[in-house]
Amino acid sequence: MQTTTREPEMPAPTPADEPRRPGWARWGWRAFLAATAITAIIGWFFAASMDPTSGPYAMDERYPFGSALRTWQVTVGFDWIAYAILFGAAGSVARRTGDRRLWAALGVSFVILWFPHVAIGIALAVAGE
Q: Where are the domains of the chain?
A: 26-127
**Region 107-123 average pLDDT:** 87
Q: Of 36, 31, 33, 25, which is closest to residue 98 (Cα–Cα)?
A: 25
Give per-residue pLDDT as tens, 90-106. 888 888 888 888 888 88
Find the mean pLDDT for residues 69-91. 84
The pLDDT of 35-50, averaged and rounded, is: 84
User: How many whole angstroms separate alpha carbon 62 and alpha carbon 57?
Assistant: 6
Contacts with 43 (C-beta within 8 Å, 6 or more apart), sequence order: 76, 77, 78, 79, 80, 81, 82, 83, 84
* Residue-averaged pLDDT of the chain: 77
CB atoms within 10 A of CB 30: 10
DSSP tag of 7: P
Q: Is it the case that residue 1 has pLDDT exceeding 70?
A: no
pLDDT of 107 > 70? The answer is yes
90/97 Cα distance (integer angstroms): 10
> Can you tell me whether residue 66 is helix, strand or coil?
strand
Mean pLDDT for the stretch of residues 81-94 = 88
63 phi and psi, to 5 degrees? -90, 160
